[in-house]
Structure 1
Amino acid sequence: MGKLFGTDGIRGRAGEYPVTAEMAEKLGAVLGQIFGTTGKAKILIGKDTRESGSMLEEALCKGLVNAGVAAVKLGVVPTPAVAYLVKELGADAAVMLTASHNPFEDNGMKIFGGNGFKLPDEMEAEVEGLLLAVETPSGLAGAAGSVSEFPNGGEVYAERVKESVSGVDFSGMKIVLDAGNGAGFQVGVEIFKDLGMDVISMATEPDGKNINADCGALHPGKAGRMVVEHGADLGISLDGDADRVIFTDKEGSEVSGDRTLAICAMSLLKAGKLSSNTMVATVMSNLGLDEAMRREGVSVVRTGVGDRLVLERMREEGIIFGGENSGHLIFSEYATTGDGILSALQVCKLMVESGATLNELAAIMREYPSTLLNLPVSEKPPIESLAKLQCLITQANEAFGDEGRQLIRYSGTEKKIRILVEHSDEAVVNEWIGKFKKVIEEEIG
């Protein structure tokens, strides 16, 4: 991991290094330097609903203009809209100002290339190197950039998303949509209503501070209670930038991201669209996903954490579908990144075409008992340097055999260490979670 970039762009507390106005201005200058070598570059800027978005947007525009770039402000739009529009509008790159599922105090900068994909490792490293080398932002001699607005980006994106379910009759379907007071608060509601669904919307009044606050993908129970209250077919909970989605069934129960991955993979398999009978998931997905897919003749390729890594593997191996159990689903036939709204439409489409409830579809797999514990840390020493922890990991692997697994890693976006333990026996999970927690507290504090 670099000094600036985590698993998904640059992220941190807004106003504190590295998410400062100065860094945003530097980023504008650096992107102008990289993408403006063949003439005047055009770079798009989108943002979610955080109050700090305007500060970063203004600084980024200043850096881009000083570098001779045509900066185009999209306003509040979902991250997948930015990924689509950068290619649709013929831009050279795009920046999405968001901290995704994090609280409003945080913000960040996700960068997309002109092809709609997040920057590959080597280009990300180039951007980071230039950012760290620049003391203060500086313009280019003779540069004369510009700033304009493209307020119709949400509408253009919406038409693209609706095309993915063309011909499906959604009349009679009732949904609860929790927009998390984030980037999907307006366009998300409009898309589902335009397709004829009965939409009960919630968390659609962002005030700059309530994004992800007790709502959205991190709190799907809120939508679940509304589903039961209104007799809806399902609940759809988006995160702050609408690139993730978590579902709740008609009984108000959360459907895990892994069950959703299994549902979608099987739908593509039956439609003859699952290339090489293979899907991509991360190391965080439950062992039950592998078990269910193996039973159906589907291979599961594992990657590190982050939808960018999932998509890179998909592109490398020509795989059409993949995602994360956190709610990122990537349908490469339609999108170049995770898209919560598009993914929700695919699940709704499957429900209509199969005539099955989400409960029935989710029964495709069983989940191994699993616990994910997040512990705050003040520093992140290399995990391999922690002798007691390494000894315990070896013991766990020997004890688990094929019946379970452990995964210990640092968060790529927060000062936390994540401890995952899965096993066919829940008592074993609880025992080893306690052991790992104790050793980590002893060695890191």
Structure 2
Amino acid sequence: MKYFGTDGFRGRANEGLNVDHAYKIGRFVGWYYGARRGAKARVLIGKDTRRSSYMFESALVAGLVASGADAYMLHVIPTPGVSYEVIDGGFDCGVMITASHNPFTDNGIKLVNREGYKMDEDVLERVEDYIDGKLEVPLATGDAIGCTVDYMQGRNRYIAHLIASCGFSMQGVKVGLDCANGAASSVARPVFDAMGAETHVINNAPNGFNINVDCGSTHIQRLQDFVVRNGLDVGFAYDGDADRCLAVDERGRLVDGDLILYVCGTYMAKHGRLAKNTVVPTVMSNFGFFKALDAAGISYEKTAVGDKNVWACMMENGYTLGGEQSGHIIFGDLEKTGDGIMTSLRIMEVLRAEREKLSELTRPVTLYPQQLVNVRVADKDAAMAASEVKEAVTAAEKFLEGNGRVLVRASGTEPLVRVLAEAPEERLCQEANAIVLKALEPFKE
């Protein structure tokens, strides 16, 4: 794919991704789905809080209505809210404007099909052909021109769906939420308040520039300090578009995606809700996490990195729980995509049912030290294909003598090569990584 990577069309606003791209995406999608249904297409649009999201929203809407589609505007909403409401409202497709955990200078466009999944690749290829001028799309005229609809009730239905997923009360529980000055700012607190929690919120005053800035799941220290300082029972941090969640226990300790999968997986297995007694993590999950699942008698099936790969494995095999260390967790019995707020509600379900603190629920897992280094390179494909880099990975794993591992992969959204070492000691991680980092030096940007 030329424009659409693993997580949509991403780039610096008005540089890698500009308003002309957004307009053309709207033009093609509006025409394509209208032609398929033989009537006006109905397309849902959501966005996060970064300044450029409003600009791209206007361009997308212009393209959609010019091609004869009706554009339903959810305004600021988490990415999973778009996926949910596409199905709930019977829309032809959905569009989410977000760069997730990236800085405010970036933005992106994600396309969602009518089943709430990421858009089919054959459709994305045709969108790219239209952007590059290889296809022509007619303009609508007269009464065939589309309209815009202010669709705030769609966001309200998503909030109601989250609340309805909880068959328990949070009365008497002190919860901290870090909304990353992003899409969770308009949704998370109403949900926890409705469940009776004593809700304490930080970073929920977006101004267009402060999304993900020293806050949210990418800067968990803020929430860790907040939970301890205020004597809270638990804390949850979301990313910019709220499809990820990391937790903090009552002691201020990080509970990452691996630990969340363990806590929820063992609980679901106990109550017969873990399909085939199997969890679906990625190859990036910690070795200590796998050892804890083995001790608990729970199977696992590893996938390549990316929620798309996790969901594909879950759907193909009928599994009900999977996710990534980053906090992108999918509860397949409830939703079809990662949902940070849903993840925090599921953790609360376990806490209330087991009557245990989060620190106690994670105690059986001893995580191995990991060191992840992101190397900015001029050409990530060339770096990944280089024989000297491959040889360095082999040498690093030989150095660890079977007591650890080294993973090297290219980022799907940025010009980065990610190098991860895992070993019983931090020193060994550093030394193993150093072998690979030296080989990557010539490829640095």
Taking structure 2 as the reference length, the TM-score comes to 0.95
Residue 427 of structure 1 corresponds to 427
Residue 159 of structure 2 corresponds to 158
Hey, what's the Cα distance between the residues in 2 that align with 1:385 and 1:221?
Answer: 36
Q: CA deviation at 1:280?
A: 0.9
Q: Does 1:144 align with 2:142?
A: no
Residue 84 of structure 1 corresponds to 84
Residue 218 of structure 2 corresponds to 218
Hey, what's the Cα distance between the residues in 1 that align with 2:119 and 2:401?
Answer: 38
Q: CA deviation at 1:123?
A: 3.5
Task: Summarize the alignment of residues 236-275 of structure 1 with structure 2, pairs less than 5 Å apart.
Answer: 236-275=236-275
Runs of 4+ in 1 over 6 A off after TM superposition: none
Q: CA deviation at 1:393?
A: 1.6
> Kindly, what percent of the aligned residue pairs are identical?
38
Q: CA deviation at 1:443?
A: 4.2
Alpha-carbon RMSD: 1.7
Note closer, same or farther for the CA distance 1:313–1:141 as it changes in structure 2 (3 Å cut).
farther
1:31 to 6, 29, 32: 29
Task: Summarize the alignment of residues 30-429 of structure 1 with structure 2, pairs less than 5 Å apart.
Answer: 30-37=28-35, 38-39=37-38, 40-134=40-134, 139-140=139-140, 143-166=144-167, 168-400=168-400, 402-429=402-429
Hey, what's the Cα distance between the residues in 1 that align with 2:134 and 2:183?
Answer: 32
Structure 1 unaligned residues grouped into runs of 5+ = none
Q: CA deviation at 1:313?
A: 1.2
* Partners of 2:381 and 2:410 within 8 A in 1: no
Hey, what's the Cα distance between the residues in 1 that align with 2:344 and 2:34?
Answer: 37
Hey, what's the Cα distance between the residues in 2 that align with 1:137 and 1:208?
Answer: 33
Q: Deviations over 1:236-295 (max 9, x none)?
A: 111111111111111112112211111111111111111111111112211222211122
SS at match of 1:184: helix
Aligned residues: 442
Residue range with higher mean Cα deviation, 62-71 or 376-385 = 376-385
SS at match of 2:280: strand
Note closer, same or farther for the CA distance 1:286–1:129 as it changes in structure 2 (3 Å cut).
farther
Residue range with higher mean Cα deviation, 379-388 or 324-333 = 379-388
* Partners of 1:21 and 1:56 within 8 A in 2: yes
Residue range with higher mean Cα deviation, 70-79 or 372-381 = 372-381
Hey, what's the Cα distance between the residues in 2 that align with 1:126 and 1:200?
Answer: 46
- Code of the aligned partner of 1:405: R
SS at match of 1:406: strand
Hey, what's the Cα distance between the residues in 2 that align with 1:221 and 1:385?
Answer: 36
Q: CA deviation at 1:397?
A: 3.4
Residue range with higher mean Cα deviation, 149-158 or 117-126 = 117-126
- Code of the aligned partner of 2:66: N
Note closer, same or farther for the CA distance 1:283–1:133 as it changes in structure 2 (3 Å cut).
farther
Q: CA deviation at 1:105?
A: 0.6
Taking structure 1 as the reference length, the TM-score comes to 0.95
* Partners of 2:396 and 2:435 within 8 A in 1: no
Hey, what's the Cα distance between the residues in 2 that align with 1:110 and 1:162?
Answer: 26
Q: Deviations over 1:82-103 (max 9, x none)?
A: 1100111110000000000111
